Homo-oligomer: A and B are copies of this chain.
Amino acid sequence: MTSAPLAEAAAGTSPEPAHERVHRALRRRILHGELAPGQPVTLRGLAAALGVSMTPAREAVRRLTAERALETTPTGRVLAPVKSAEALAELLAARALLEPELAARAAARADAALVARLRSHDDAVEAALAAGDAATYVRANTAFHATLYAAARAPALMALVESVWLQLNPSMRILNGRAGTAGLADHHEQAMAACARRDGTAAAAAVLADIRQAEALIAGGG
């Protein structure tokens, strides 16, 4: 197997370790909500799927479990965690504490290019919402927030928020699947307007409202 060491060796510029590639691939799947809660992740299966041996697969899984994106049972089995309603509420509380700060910092550094990228992601959000495509919605919504916060240039805070998303997104997919109502993008609009004005306070308020809306959705959906 893995008879082909991949053509990227020809590029020469990026001798990326295999375990990092596995980590990013699995992380992306989780962040996009493609991994259902409770779904097991086997080392051999993951390794075979990406054409590597068990060792880098194990390293990638360990990293994700450290980020709480995966869960290890007492017997060593690894699976996407099933979050209780209380756990989801706690994660949303964490978002409510962290993300407004990130939004405020981002808005203070915003420029036209950022607003344009945000607009592009928000269009995708609304399109997915209209089409009832839950998976695409989660991906686009995450991309919107990630793009906004990246402008804050606060890597440590960003890492904390991403850890929360990794825990939240698998469950969000199911949640949004049954709550495909409209009008969810209003706060995105406010956030973009705040960025255009470099208004950090308004951006923080918009993001907080966005999160509060998600909280209400969970509380309502039970």
Residues of A at the B interface (CB closer than 8 Å) are: 17, 19, 55, 58-59, 62-68, 76, 87, 90-91, 93-94, 97-98, 101, 154-157, 159-160, 163-164, 167
Whether the pair B157, A160 counts as a contact (CB closer than 8 A) is no
Residues of B within 8 A of A87 (CB): 155-156
Q: Give the number of times this chain occurs in the complex, counting copies.
A: 2
Chain A contact residues: helix, strand, loop or mixed: helix
Whether the pair B90, A97 counts as a contact (CB closer than 8 A) is no
Q: In the complex, what distance in Å separates the CA atom of A68 from the CA atom of B65? A: 13
Give min CB distance, A75 to chain B, whole Å: 10
Give min CB distance, A163 to chain B, whole Å: 7
Residues of B within 8 A of A64 (CB): 66
Q: In the complex, what distance in Å separates the CA atom of A115 from the CA atom of B164? A: 30
Residues of B within 8 A of A167 (CB): 156
Q: In the complex, what distance in Å separates the CA atom of A97 from the CA atom of B66? A: 22
A-B contacts, 10 listed (Cβ < 8 Å): A17-B76, A62-B63, A66-B67, A67-B67, A68-B156, A91-B156, A93-B101, A156-B164, A160-B160, A163-B163
Contact partner of A90 (CB less than 8 A), chosen from B17, B59, B90, B157, is B157
Q: In the complex, what distance in Å separates the CA atom of A205 from the CA atom of B1? A: 59
Q: In the complex, what distance in Å separates the CA atom of A156 from the CA atom of B164? A: 8
Residues of B within 8 A of A59 (CB): 58-59, 62
Closest residue of chain B to A69 (Cβ to Cβ) is B66
A94 and B157 in contact, given A55-B55, A163-B163 (Cβ under 8 angstroms) = yes
Give min CB distance, A139 to chain B, whole Å: 22
Whether the pair B164, A160 counts as a contact (CB closer than 8 A) is yes
Give min CB distance, A62 to chain B, whole Å: 5
For the complex with contacts A19-B62, A160-B160, 18 further pairs of A-B residues with Cβ separation under 8 Å are A17-B76, A59-B59, A59-B62, A63-B65, A63-B66, A68-B159, A90-B154, A90-B155, A93-B101, A93-B154, A94-B98, A94-B157, A94-B160, A97-B97, A97-B101, A98-B98, A156-B164, A160-B164
